[in-house]
Structure 1
Amino acid sequence: MQPPQASHVFALPKNLLDSLTPRNLVNKPRTRTPSPEPALAVVSSGQRACNICLGTTFNDVDEQRIHFKSDWHRYNVKMRMSGGSVVTESAFGQLVEGLEDSLSGSASSSDDDDDSDDAVNTLVKRTGRLSTRSSSPESSPRSPLVPIIWFHSPPSTQIGVYRTIFPLQTETKDYVRELADLQAQKPGGRTWAMFMVAGGHFAGAVVRVSRDPDEDDEPAGKSKKQRKPKPDTEVLLHKTFHRYTTRRKQGGSQSVNDNAKGPAKSAGAQLRRYGEQALREDIRNLLADWADDIHDCERIWIRASTSNRRIFFDYEDAVIQKGDERLRTFPFPTRRPTQSEIARCIVELTRVKVSHFTEDQLRDQDEAYLASLPKPKPKPKPMPTPAAPPPSREKLKEKWSRLVEMVNKGRLDALKVFWEPSIHPIPEWVGEKVTTILQLAARGGQAEVVHWLLEEACADPTVNIGPGPNEDVDENGSDGGREGAAVISKAGATSRTAYDLAKSKAVRDIFRRCAASHLDWWDWLGAGHVPSVLSQDMEEEQEQKKKVRRKGLKDKLKEREAKEKEREKEQPVEQPARVKLVKDQASDGGPRRLGGSSGSAEAASGLTPEMRMKLERERRARAAETRLRALGGK
């Protein structure tokens, strides 16, 4: 049975449902024997024929020319060039009628070129899309997931339904059963909620997509006038509004622009931010008003960008929860959110798609589709990796010289990249007087490198070395640094570890802290020569003692300053008399030499250093005046 031209997905005939089969269960591989090309119709010597249009014959040249210019011939030529199958003239007429019906309901038009108005080109493109839709992508695991599920009804009818109408996680074998369940009538009918928001425009509606069985059973009444059949869909609630949120010809909302480039300070930006906030509040208030109707809806369709979808979910007491099983997105492109666009989307979702292909044509389409899929590349066989040749002496020297330079200069980041757990002890030909990298870092005072080697690289702190040829070790086992830097073994030889080589307290404290944190890793206190551990509590206690000591010193300093201030207050009482006495003595004797009289030393005794300097300056000034007067007298 063939469905009507505009079949409703919730009102399919029962006999059609019983004959449906999912497309992937029909197109099974078949064995085909090569067959010769169909022979053309044998024509008499006086007739002309078209080799493309199934051997159509003509009586004269004019009739043949008219045929070559016809849309039917042009369509068959383009289908043959694209690998499709030609059709008869009657079949072409049916295709043209179906094309005109589909174009009459479209709200969009384009005048870009003349080819878009050509029915042949449009029909060829549409046939190619139908072939792609009618193919069976589920028959191959490599094929993408298509939005339409196709069903086959023998002998040559296919219907397509959008996948999002069915429940989530529906298996392929259960689509026919789910489609039959959609035909069951529910009290009050099936309702959908549809919302669109983009560019500051919002459109929302609650739609009844199936009829209410109680309304169909109502008596016609006394009136003999026949009632008009109610439509399959009915808009119960609808609302549209607009806010200024997007700058014209710029694209993107103001919040997206602020997140990308920082908040703008123009007046227009302030208006757009206010528009976004007002749009969000308007939508949420509308959802609250429609909460009861949305709760009873079977599907909730939302068209919104990632940022705009937060309007529906991310707030307290949201009507729609984020993980709701009823949530769907529109599986096709949509235009600006308007009431007419919602009506178009309702029709697109609820109307089944119909095509007419025989089973042989469907199999051919499937085979062509599978052949067009990219074949998986064979995995390359793993090639045996040849053994790396042993490094040369020059490369080893370069490696160790770089490693020693990193440690001595404290380049920890470079050392982490260059580090290998299997690094051997430092060879003798490197010229260093230590054995391990840890000893080298401790001797150089690189605290960060020492900490990383002990904590992350787990370097051994118990490795010891003897004194070098140029290192003097005294009888007490000291290397000229701190006491106890060397430990004398029972045999009398001197041995030193990384801790002994550390010349700064900061590096030695790192050893003591690691010993406290990881006491079971090494023999820190024995073979490692670490005198004691340093825990966090011990450091806090030492810091507290330092604070007490600093406070005592500050108190003593304040007491000393207070005593000096008291002493200074007592001294100025006697100093003015002494200064005046010195001035009188200097003025009585007349001109004197630089340095003053013999009694000047006695007069300056008991003065402060500042007063002595002032007195010396006065003496020098008087001596200079005396010399100037003497020169003027001559």
Structure 2
Amino acid sequence: MSVKKNDLYVYDLADSILKSLKLMYFDHMLREAENNDVEQTTSKIIQEENEGKKKNISNSFSCSICDTKFTDRPSQRSHYQTSFHIFNVKRSLKDLPCLTLTEFDKLLANNKTSLEGPEASSNSESDSESELEQIDEKKEENVAQSGDMYESSQSFLDESLEAELQKLSAEEADESGSISCLNTKSPQIYLKSSLLQADDVFGIYKALFDSKSISSPLDTLFRWNDDDAGITKISALFMVGGGHFAGAIVSHQRANIKGNAKKQETSFQEQAVQFIEHKTFHRYTTRRKQGGSQSAMDNAKGKANSAGSTLRRYNEAALRTDIQNLLGTWAPYLSKCENIFLRASNVQDKQIFLENNNIKKDDERLKTFPFTTGRPTLGELRKSWCELTYLKKVPKPTPIEVKKLTLNKQTNEDPKTMKHQDAKASSPQEKYTEELIALLKKGRAPLLIAYLKKNKLDVNFLLEPTAKYISTPTLLHYAASHNLKQMVTILLSNMKADPCVKNQSGKTAWDMAKEENVRQSFQIARHSLGEEYTNWADAHVGDPLSREQVDKFNKEAEEAANNEAESIIRKELDAAKERQRLELDKKRGVGNKLDPSGNINIKQNLNSLSPEQRQRLMREQRARAAEARLQKSIAK
């Protein structure tokens, strides 16, 4: 049977899928195990009741395990949560006879007297039977009258009952070991289904459950799919990072998308997501291609005083204020949310939601998205909600392989010991290389010089292992190939490294340089050290340049680049204006040009005039003609 994705919504599962689900249990090695638990037995009872309800079969409102009848459905459901029912389910799973309510109360009384001590038991021995009879009479009256006799079931769970349940739980733990549905080594709980192939299972995210419901996920799924359970349930979704914010209050009930057109970038499941409230913000808080917020840069490198950094600091404060104001506006929704999912890129962003008591830090509803999300947008919120709330068809988990330790036949030593000895046997040159490369990458020139002097190493020290550093055999080669401009200058000018050393390919450090600024460091060193220092031609280094020449050259190159960029921008603006003008002309049309002499084309305009306007125009034309004749006569 094919399973449609639209039927896998956890708050509105198809009946066929819901009935076929079976919770999977695993041990600590991810091996599947059978575990008969209270949750499984109770879920079967609820499932049978739901099937009877859907098939319109009359229900007797009874518990087959405790052999108790009820007058209505609420009292029956509350009975399933009582200590009396749980205790009987435990006994039935151990193939023990179930107790009646009277026997259960007597068991409590006997254990209580044994816990209080022999004196208390001797004093209360005469009164125990009468008290038990009174309790039985009261409970039987309650059953006959209202069926709400188990609403205060937690009062029955005293120390004696806990001891009994602990004994049964301990016996089960000894038989099955640490078996649980949560031992999945993943953010999902796995469910078997007869609708899937043998190697496939359904996965549901653990983040959807709270601390109570996660112990019985199958019962929770049945409760979510109750007819009246998810109509008014809502959750909150928040994402913030890089100056972008997206938030929404989403309803657990899907929108009706029947008749919707298929969109290329939006699935039908995303179209069905129903946002009660949603809002997005964007503020310029991160410098382009730099990464990290301005506050993070200030904490790492000190406070900058540029116009851009000031603007970014202001926008960070403004974004914080906008989010907090929005949370205050949505406070009535947040108080009723089942879950609050939050994705914050850093601690500072997360702290925004915990200020002003909008969301408490210890709130159990506050959770993170158990998967990677993209830029905060409304579309990303829809995708994330669909990812969270739809069952996933995933491969069945494979058990963890046990790696056997193989001992060395010659020495009979543990592999860990052999590995430790191999690390000790590595050459001192490799250790020196690791330390030198680490200092070189960090730009710690003083420490690098001190390390070379301490270990009596030359600046042209050959890095090892040779196979790893075949193209960069010296520190100068390594610095040039990794664009460490400052360290190239220090190695040449201060530490007097030899630029003529070649690698196995015959390339010098100059040849390994990829950036122009690194090559300029070689040219500046050649100018400062002089031509007598070494054979610069063998080192392939370009003509010597002073710092002033390099600065002038870089300034000219920057100005040329800016001028070229400005000219390109100017051309693009002119082209945009021309396109805009052409589009405007197309909208207006070609139009009719006026006669240079000022005469009006009568054929084109008389038809659009009223009779009065036409007479007025004719009078004006006759007047102009008379005026023209008068001027001609005067001129003669």
TM-score w.r.t. length of structure 1: 0.35
TM-score w.r.t. length of structure 2: 0.35
Q: Which structure features the higher share of helix residues?
A: 2
